[in-house]
Amino acid sequence: MRRVVVLTAAVAVALPALVGSTVNAAAVSKKPTLDPAAVAGSMGYLEQAYGVTPAEALRRLELQLDATQLDETLRAKAAEVYGGMAIDHQHGGVLVVDTTNPAAIRSLLAQFPDRGHVLTRTVDHSLAELTAVRDRLAKEAGKDVAYLPAVDQQANTVVLWRRDPAAAKITAPDGVVVKDLPLLTPLAGPIDWGYCHPLFCGGYGPMRGGLRLDHTRADGGTSACTTGFNVRSTGGGYADKTAWVLTAGHCDQKNSLPVQHNGMSVVQQHGVQKDFYPYDYQFLPYVDQGTADTWLNKQAPHNSVLLYCMDSKQNCEGHYAESGSQPITGVHALADVKPGWVVCADGSASSQRNYPQAADSGAGVDYLPGTRCGQVTSTDVGINTTICARPGDSGGPLFSQVDNTALGILAGSRTLVTGACAVGESSSYSPIGTILDDVNAFSGGQGAHFEVITSANG
């Protein structure tokens, strides 16, 4: 099996000093519910980045899985005191739960399977309180997208993120911070014909996240992006159960030429789209019903992203014609995603030196296409991660192996470099929940409802 690429240095999630303490109970023995083979990339990241054993890596992923349920419980039963949570891998793989009153949630934490690895941190504001302030600011802003309010759980405050530095200065309410949203470098790039490459996964599908999309530029050249997730729309002016491919909005080349994969026209150049972060998305319809049937409807499954693939004509790392995929069975909203989560992403960028038969995508020497795993460092209006990315990776999927969920699509990088992955890189993803909320707010312009496909036959 092809090895999943991971970053090899530890990255600490930025958490303020803890003022709570470990829950006064021993860790409970819990039979693992995760299959190590199914989360191999995520385990490999933790083993290499933090020097932990496979057993410890699996424990931390189990902690992440269980914490998702705990988050739901605390939101439902202790909303007035619950301030959010994060996983701190730098200090032993512990779950840090924020609260305005540690005593009020002690009984709920005592039921947690790995309660010996739980810390509490006392904060001033509950998550519900911060969310209410954010929602009020969003309502007041209306359609003005110059300022985007978001909860900063780690700082326990609300931030008004200013998208445009030229936007007029505003006076924020007390307790609300105004910050300039960092500018992202879009990671679309020229075509790469590398042979051990996601571009060469089969002749006609199945369509999956992680495959190459080739957009023809006005000058006749080709700009490359990566597929994110398979989507369907229901109702409205489109045919019921219309199939779409989701990728980044900035990949659009503003012409009518079809988008290709492996030299074949697959989807249209235009669909339903926006191209400003975090609303950086485009839903591209297939060029015709026959193509949709060939690439998706008559394939199985319909709900996966690519992990690796290889061309049967080439010997890639000792293997021939191998392919592996990650099922997608759910979607997480931005509010669900926590700092410290181990996540994975897929992309199709590479370099000519590593792939001599390829036109260079601008990725740089020793950057290889495929799946990488890292962790969430923070969330603002998007999802910020330690996963490195290069030109050609834009639009690629961000997902969790822990619970098979779609999280976002690549918008760009805040630390644009080329070549092999390096310590300290950061890439940001447009949240899938934000994208769906936005496109469904105006019904894709046709009164339709869009959803990521989360079942094998969806």
Report the 10 Å Cβ neighbour count for 55: 10
pLDDT single digits (tens) 271-316: 999 988 999 999 999 999 999 999 999 998 999 998 876 554 444 4
Among 15-19, 127-131, 144-148, 386-390, which is the least confidently predicted range? Answer: 15-19
Confidence (pLDDT) at 310: 58
44 and 342 Cβ atoms separated by less than 8 Å: no
Listed range (35-49, 227-241, 364-378) with the worst mean pLDDT: 364-378
Distance CA 247, CA 245 (A): 7
Residue 10 vs residue 234, higher pLDDT: 234
Whether 7 shows a pLDDT value over 90: the answer reads no
Tell me: pLDDT of 88 over 80: yes
For 259-265, what is the mean pLDDT? Answer: 83
Give the distance from CA 297 to its chain's centroid: 25
Provide mean pLDDT across the span 26-34. Answer: 62
Give the model's pLDDT for residue 356: 61
pLDDT > 60? residue 239 = yes
Separation of alpha carbons 74 and 81, rounded Å: 9
Query: Which residue is associated with the tokens 């094998």?
Result: 456
Return the ∠ at Cα 28 (arms to 26 and 29), rounded to 5°. 135
pLDDT value at residue 390: 87
> How far is residue 395's CA from residue 430's CA, in Å, rounded to a whole number?
9
Q: What is the pLDDT of residue 176?
A: 83
pLDDT over 60 (residue 366): yes
> In terms of Cα–Cα distance, which of 5, 119, 126 is closest to 63?
119
pLDDT confidence of residue 423: 76
Mean pLDDT over residues 92-111, rounded? 96
- Which of 328, 359, 353, 380 has the alpha carbon at shortest distance from 150? 380
Q: Is the pLDDT of residue 208 over 50?
A: yes
- Sort 368 into a burial class: Cβ within 10 Å, 0-12 / 13-18 / 19+: buried
Confidence at residue 68, expressed as pLDDT on a 0 to 100 scale: 96
Residue type, 303: N
Look at residue 192 and tell me whether its pLDDT is greater than 50.
no
Half-sphere exposure (Cβ direction) of 452: Cα atoms closer than 13 Å: 33
pLDDT of residue 261: 81
Question: In this predicted structure, what is the pLDDT of residue 175?
Answer: 80
Of the candidates 376, 403, 383, the one whose C-alpha atom is nearest the C-alpha of residue 45 is: 376
Q: pLDDT tens, 415-438?
A: 777 877 777 888 999 999 999 999
Q: Which two tokens stand for residue 326?
A: 């990650």
Give the confidence band of 112 by pLDDT, cuts at 50, 70, 90.
very high
* Structure confidence at residue 211 (pLDDT): 87
Closest CA to 120 of 226, 245, 240, 15: 15
List, in order of start, the domains of the chain with CATH numbers.
5-16+35-122 (no CATH), 127-180 (no CATH), 189-452 (2.40.10.120)
pLDDT at 309: 66
- Helix H, strand E, coil C: the string for 77-144 is HCCCCEEEEEEECCCCCEEEEEECCHHHHHHHHCCCCCHHHEEEEECCCCHHHHHHHHHHHHHHHCCC
Q: Sort 104 into a burial class: Cβ within 10 Å, 0-12 / 13-18 / 19+.
A: middle
Instruction: Quote the pLDDT of residue 202.
Output: 57
pLDDT-based confidence at 3, cuts 50/70/90? very low
- In this prediction, residue 56 has a pLDDT band, given cuts at 50, 70 and 90, of very high
Judge whether residue 13 has pLDDT over 50: no
> What is the pLDDT of the chain when averaged over all its residues?
83
User: 21: pLDDT confidence band, cut at 50, 70 and 90?
Assistant: very low
Percentage of the chain beyond pLDDT 70 is: 82
Q: What is the pLDDT of residue 422?
A: 76
* CA–centroid distance for 281 within its chain: 13
Amino acid at 105: I
- Over range 231-236, report the average pLDDT: 92
The residue among 252, 271, 281, 260 whose CA lies nearest residue 213 is 260
